């Protein structure tokens, strides 16, 4: 154990542990631990990212007013029901709703319901687009300060799995409202529900993407360590090289031992510098 800790700051300890004192299975355990350590910052960032922070990172871009209008105008005539993780609509003639900004009479957002997702419904990026479908949810947010430019596009699979069976999405937004609620109270209540709504929708997508990205990075990091071991062996093949007695297995074991130090640094720097989390381990190795 002392030699393992020493290997964090001393390359000779890596060589000693790999060739003389450490068993081959110790090198494999160190590699496994190193790969796990190298993945922790990125995985934590992905799994803790909420849908509301993705969609509304800087502002609501007018979607708070759009959702308020959409919900209030349709809650008595349309139902969007969640059952067994699937969404069905009834009473929505045409499956389309346009929100018109009363300030300039421009269409700022368009809501759709389709059985199967159709991303071609996203128009010319002059209006935000929200698409509900049985098994998916899509949203394109147009920056209100830069019409014609999309600030975010998001497509979520299995977005309704976190909603209870029998949930009507309109009831979800208006659960705290009464018939006597004022327009301002309606706006505040629906706006308050909007971040949680996006969090629920994004949750399954977040979990799936976190594990898929982690799997990709684990393969990349392990491959780089193996490449490093191969390079150790190849670079000691010279006839006059003092280390030409190293076998290819020695090269791999040395690389496995040497991978622990950059993995520990990746954890430390990955949380301090989030942008460093993904590629920190390959850069430090």
- Any idea which residue has 């062996």 for tokens? 233
Residue 84 φ/ψ, nearest 5 degrees: 55, 40
pLDDT exceeds 70 at position 123: no
Instruction: Please tell me the distance from the alpha carbon of residue 239 to that of residue 191, in angstroms, as a whole number.
Output: 73
Is residue 36 pLDDT above 90, yes or no?
A: yes
Global pTM?
0.80
What's residue 203's pLDDT? 92
How high is the pLDDT of residue 65?
93
Q: 78-92, 109-123, 249-263 — which one is most confidently predicted on average?
A: 78-92
Q: Kindly report, residue by residue over 41-91, the tens digit of the pLDDT.
A: 999 998 988 888 888 877 788 899 999 999 999 999 999 999 999 999 999
**Helices marked H in 151-182:** 169-174
Query: Per the structure block, which two tokens stand in for 175?
Result: 């659960």
Specify the pLDDT at position 225: 94
Residue 247, pLDDT score: 86
Range list of H helices, the chain: 2-6, 11-16, 24-47, 51-55, 63-74, 169-174, 183-234, 248-258, 260-272, 280-284
Rounded distance between C-alpha atoms, residue 61 and residue 180, angstroms: 28
- Other CB atoms within 10 Å distance of the CB of residue 181: 15
> Where is pLDDT greater, at 126 or 69?
69
The three-point CA angle 147-203-156 to 5° equals 50
**With bands split at pLDDT 50, 70 and 90, how would you rate the model's confidence at 5?**
low
Please state the rounded mean pLDDT for residues 220-244: 88
């Amino acid at each position: 154990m002392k030699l393992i800790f020493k290997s964090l700051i001393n390359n000779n300890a890596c060589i000693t542990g790999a060739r003389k004192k450490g068993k081959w299975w110790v090198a494999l355990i160190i590699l496994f631990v190193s790969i796990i350590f190298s993945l922790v910052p990125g995985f934590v960032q992905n799994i803790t990212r909420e849908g509301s922070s993705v969609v509304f990172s800087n502002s609501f871009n007018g979607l708070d007013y759009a959702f308020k209008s959409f919900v209030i105008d349709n809650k008595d005539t349309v139902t969007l029901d969640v059952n067994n993780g699937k969404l069905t609509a009834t009473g929505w003639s045409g499956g389309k709703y346009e929100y018109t900004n009363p300030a300039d009479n421009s269409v700022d957002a368009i809501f759709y319901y389709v059985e199967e997702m159709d991303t071609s419904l996203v128009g010319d990026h002059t209006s935000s687009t929200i698409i509900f479908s049985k098994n998916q949810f899509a949203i394109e947010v147009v920056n209100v300060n830069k019409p014609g430019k999309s600030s975010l596009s998001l497509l979520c699979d299995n977005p309704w799995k976190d909603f209870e069976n029998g949930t009507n999405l309109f009831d979800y937004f208006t659960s705290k409202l009464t018939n006597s609620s004022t327009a301002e109270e309606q706006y505040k209540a629906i706006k308050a529900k909007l971040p949680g709504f996006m969090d629920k929708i994004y949750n399954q997508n977040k979990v799936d993407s976190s594990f898929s990205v982690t799997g990709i990075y684990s393969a990349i990091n392990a491959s780089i360590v193996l490449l490093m071991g191969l390079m150790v062996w190849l670079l000691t093949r010279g006839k006059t090289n003092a280390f030409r007695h190293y076998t290819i297995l020695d090269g791999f074991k040395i690389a496995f031992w040497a991978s622990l130090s950059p993995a520990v640094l990746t954890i430390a720097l990955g949380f301090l510098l989030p942008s460093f989390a993904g590629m920190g381990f390959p850069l430090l190795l």
